A and B are shown apart, each in its own frame.
Chain A
Amino acid sequence: MILQCMVCLVCLALLSLPATAQGGPEVPKFHEETATSGLDASFTGEWEQMVGGGVATFDCNGDRRPDMAIAGGTSPATLWVNESPTGGALRFVPLDGGIGLTGVSGLYPLDIDGDAITDLVALRVGEDVVLRGKGDCRFTRANETWHFDGGDLWSMAFAATWEAGSDWPTLAIGSYIDRTQDAFPWGSCTDNRLFRPAPDGGFAAPLPLLPGFCALSMLFTDWNRSGQPALRVSNDREYYKGGQEQLWHIAAGQPPRAYTEAEGWLRLRVWGMGIASSDLDFDGFPEYFLTSMADNKLQTLVDPGSHLPRYADVAFPRGAIAQRPYTGGDVRPSTAWHAQFEDVNNDGFSDLFIAKGNVSEMPDFAQKDPNNLLLQRLDGSFEEAGDRAGIASFLTARGAALADFNLDGQMDLVVVNRNGPAQVWRNEGTAGHWIALALHQPGPNRDAIGARIEVDMGDHIQRREVASGGGHAGGSLGWLHFGLGAQATARVRVIWPDGPASDWADLAADGFHDLTRGGPPSGWQP
């Protein structure tokens, strides 16, 4: 099956991607603009901050440019308003928007209350806090208003979905070590929690997702295209006993239930730190990249027809293993954190960014551990281009985000470093066409979390799941970007979260388009 897919990919590529440079994917040029951007943030701390350091990218002031909220660890979380001119240098301005909590390990954007203003979920070493967006980049604590029990754990993972028929989101929050066991934490993983809507509004008391295995990333994903997302949980094997990676049934009105071996779920134990997903082989089923220490995993569904969640690891044959530094002379194994698929060179193929950095002076792992930028080749394999693209930082990375900060159609990059300055790079662009889309629907789930976007490339279809969660301690909400290669127009449709599909629409490339449920697409100009 895997070989068949790779052969298929080669055929597709040869037929339809004239924009791809001969001899390998075109390498985008990233220009680091940290010093001139105004960004001055860091994720600080020691043992309780050995993990975390996420960044949320979302629009907080209505100008549709991605702003940033950055976890600070022992330092306050910070909010950065994006004032980058279109196509120009990156520029951010700090704003005290009410998110300056300490102890924040991660931040995820989500319009929880459906008021068209993005809210934030702050994962903390301590009480988790939901922050209601008030507009104009102002936020206020809403734990009490929304009956959100923030607990007092070491929270690290987040994912959100709207269960069928619900007018309020369901949140999954993953927790790490029992920090009261700081001298002997092995085997002390605390419970993950599932916050479902309460009948009378807000969140009900959280349900424990037992057993918890020290989660560092979660993602609601419709892995089998059943229409009902399941919850993937990536766990850190350093601290659990008897644990493994997990996949949970989350069915409306039913208690959460972990998939079992009898259902096809195969035991996998990694230092799970981040999840990224993308339909790399265009078969309609997402692949999943799991970050870890040394060897990372790229999982593809073995037999979609079987409806069994059995995955094969294809990181090695596809060149996506990224197990040690590729530059800088340090040959010790790497430590990987945030991962994200985006098409950074607009050739129509998802590429993969991986944030790297030593946990904390672990001598058997690389100290000079550059971030990866793996460009997807025509045959579906990947090649390292971090150094050639200019993003091979040796700081100690944790969270990150690829986002088009200056709205020029090129995916820029922000990386949060532990006990070091966050960095931003502007993508100077490639020749490929692109399109950026925003989904809107009436009702509570306004950003259509759980929808699937399909872009018809002629001989294959790019598909993207609209998700809230995954990565390492941070996520994005906003424009959804597709590279189009040589295609000057894009044929696009949306499978909305509850199943109906929109009509196919032909959209002009190299532009921004709003796709509103029940209405015609409309262009938007920065």
Chain B
Amino acid sequence: MTRLPFRFLLRILRPCGLLLATVLAVASGQPARASADPQVVLTTWYRLVLELVRHTPTYSPPVAARAFAYLGITAYEATASGNPGMTSLAGQLIALTPPPARNAGATYDEGLVLQAAMAASVANFFGNTGPTGHRAKAALQDKLDKSAADGVAPEVAARSRAHGKAVADHILAWSQTDGGAAITNMGFPVTWTPSDQPGHWVPTSRIVPQQAPLLPDWGRNRPLAMPDGSSCPLPPPPPYSEESGSDFHAEAVEVWQASRTLTAEQREIAAFWSDDPMLSPTPPGHWISILLEIADRDRLDPTRTADALARLGIAMSDGFIGCWDAKFRHDLIRPVTYIRKTIDAKWEPLLITPPFPEYPSGHSTQSGAAATVLTAIFGAHFSFTDSTHADDGLPPRDYPDFWTAANEAAISRLYGGIHFRAAIERGLEQGACIGAHVNALRTLE
């Protein structure tokens, strides 16, 4: 029933540059000269995952960040098991035991190892996607299975597949005990009683499930690189006050005034980083997209790519755990609620207010963590182009370094009218703290 797989591969492999040639040759029926490049296998799966995140209903940003972390760790460990220059994350990440080792002296095909590992991991994390996602997964697995095995001795292929799957299964089993594996009702509690105290979060949406906040227990999940969800605590936000002239009121006035004087570029920035669930690859997917674009531009090898994907994924997943821990400790009111009550009853923010407490900003924490890790990997003055939303009609944006992008992502939430400044600035600081835990990991020599 699958039609035109060649065109399908063209679409998703387009960003992979010259590495495309091998797989396309196989897909078009030409004789293959070698097995698939592991880099093509890795980045091709990730590009499908960016779509699956967008089209799988449970994939809110925290859930997406978790999946990116485990997918990255799987790719890293599958690669590291055959590369003495890579240090396993076992014993470094919380509760991760050593994955199955390769048979000493035996030959493995790296493309097939990664193919088997990624196929198993994606099948698990996106087992709940819709019919179209299942078709896409099956089509990709079929084509990459065939192309990766072409020219590989059968016993090597079998051994490589078994090892890749064994690594994936090991990571999957570990992931099941972190507290985030099961998502029910899209992550919203069926019942919830908001605080009746002033200054606390109340629902801002007219969608029924969102009368409860998203994933209130996510901060209790087992992190990966930091000890626990409260490892990077925040100072409290300005004391709640409805008095004009108070620090809290001043922050609200800033958001309200900003919304009335937004420039065209500020509106563009708000939209560019909005990354709404089900309408985008989510905020963590946005940073993964940035990394994939860099990997393509700079022709990164699979070792560096797997390392960067793992560390970025870990940073963002821990970022959401830390952020959610803080959000539900502080349980702060959203700007739309406060401003309508005290400043402007008819005020409408530019963006849709997310259904959970305000402080700190999730975008800010995870972007701070991402910038910290990517700066450690690529350097402090590493320029790049971000084309994440080109297909959605938002033009690419250029950045001189990762922190400029992170700061822009963070302030976009003030432009959008959904965060106060303290949530943004303290969120970035929290992200930097979480990123430092990730940077302490030993990966590549």
User: A-side interface residues toward B, CB under 8 Å?
Assistant: 46-47, 50, 179-187, 237-239, 241-242, 269, 293-295, 313, 315-317, 321, 323-324, 331-333, 359-365
Contacts and interface: CB of A to CB of B under 8 A. Distances in A.
B391 A242 contact: yes
B235 interface: no
Interface in B3-25: 3-5, 7-8, 11-12
B91 interface: no
Contacts of B159: none
Counting from the closest, the 9 A-B pairs by CB-CB distance are: A242-B393, A183-B139, A316-B206, A242-B392, A360-B131, A183-B8, A295-B207, A241-B391, A184-B8
B207 A316 contact: yes
Contacts of A183: 2-5, 8, 135-136, 139-140
Contacts of B183: 364
Contacts of B391: 187, 241-242
B131 A182 contact: no
B131 A185 contact: no
B208 A295 contact: yes
A269 B140 CA distance: 28
Contact of B206 (A46, A241, A315): A315
A364 B57 contact: yes
B128 A237 contact: no
B363 interface: no
Given A182-B135, A186-B54, A331-B190, A317 B279 contact: no
Contacts of A361: 131
B259 interface: no
Contacts of A187: 391
A181 B8 contact: yes
Contact of A316 (B127, B135, B208): B208
B45 to A, nearest CB: 13
A324 B209 CA distance: 9
Nearest to A317: B206
B139 A184 contact: yes
A53 B391 CA distance: 31
Contact of B3 (A182, A293, A316): A182
A47 B135 contact: yes
A364 B131 CA distance: 12
Nearest to B391: A241
B247 interface: no
B58 A186 contact: no
B51 interface: yes
Given A332-B185, A333-B185, 7 more contacts: A47-B1, A180-B3, A181-B7, A184-B51, A186-B132, A316-B206, A362-B57
B278 interface: yes
A313 B128 CA distance: 29
Contact of B207 (A186, A317, A321): A321
Nearest to A240: B392
A333 B132 contact: no
The contact size tier of chain B is: 35 or more
A396 to B, nearest CB: 13
27 contacts: A47-B132, A180-B7, A182-B1, A182-B4, A183-B3, A183-B136, A183-B140, A184-B136, A184-B139, A237-B278, A237-B279, A238-B55, A241-B392, A241-B393, A242-B392, A295-B207, A313-B206, A316-B207, A321-B208, A323-B209, A324-B208, A333-B209, A359-B130, A360-B131, A362-B131, A364-B128, A364-B183
B387 to A, nearest CB: 13
A182 B7 CA distance: 10
A185 B208 contact: no
Interface in B170-206: 183, 185-186, 190, 206
A213 to B, nearest CB: 11
B279 A186 contact: no
A316 B278 CA distance: 21
Nearest to B190: A331
Nearest to B140: A183
A47 B134 CA distance: 11
Interface string B125-150: 00110111001100110000000000
Nearest to B12: A184
A270 B279 CA distance: 10
Contacts of A324: 208-209
B55 A362 contact: no
A185 B57 contact: no
Interface string B46-60: 000001001111100
Interface in B52-70: 54-58
A153 to B, nearest CB: 15
Nearest to A364: B57
A238 to B, nearest CB: 6
Interface in B263-292: 278-279
Contacts of B58: 364
Contact of A365 (B55, B57, B127): B57
B392 A182 contact: no
A269 B58 CA distance: 18
A367 to B, nearest CB: 13
Contacts of B394: 242
A295 B4 CA distance: 35
Contacts of B5: 183
Contact of A186 (B55, B131, B209): B55
A209 to B, nearest CB: 17
Contacts of B393: 241-242
Nearest to B142: A183
Contacts of B136: 183-184
Given A183-B3, A186-B51, A237-B278, A364 B392 contact: no
Contact of A294 (B12, B51, B207): B207
Contacts of B186: 294, 333, 364
A183 B279 CA distance: 19
A323 B208 CA distance: 7
Interface in B205-219: 206-209
Nearest to B55: A238
A216 to B, nearest CB: 14
Contacts of B139: 183-184
Among A182, A293, A331, find the residue whose CB has the most chain B CB atoms closer than 10 A.
A182
Among A333, A363, A364, find the residue whose CB has the most chain B CB atoms closer than 10 A.
A364
A222 to B, nearest CB: 27
A362 B130 contact: yes
A317 B57 CA distance: 25
Interface in B391-408: 391-394
Contacts of B8: 181, 183-184
Contact of B131 (A179, A180, A315, A359): A359
Among B127, B132, B278, find the residue whose CB has the most chain A CB atoms closer than 10 A.
B132
A392 B58 CA distance: 27
A50 B131 CA distance: 9
A241 B7 CA distance: 19
A333 to B, nearest CB: 7
A463 to B, nearest CB: 26
B181 to A, nearest CB: 14
Contacts of B51: 184, 186
Contacts of A185: 132
A88 B1 CA distance: 46
A183 B58 CA distance: 21
Contacts of A323: 207-209
B420 to A, nearest CB: 25
Contacts of B135: 47, 182-183
Interface in B200-246: 206-209
A333 B278 CA distance: 15
A184 B130 CA distance: 13
B202 to A, nearest CB: 14
Contacts of B392: 241-242
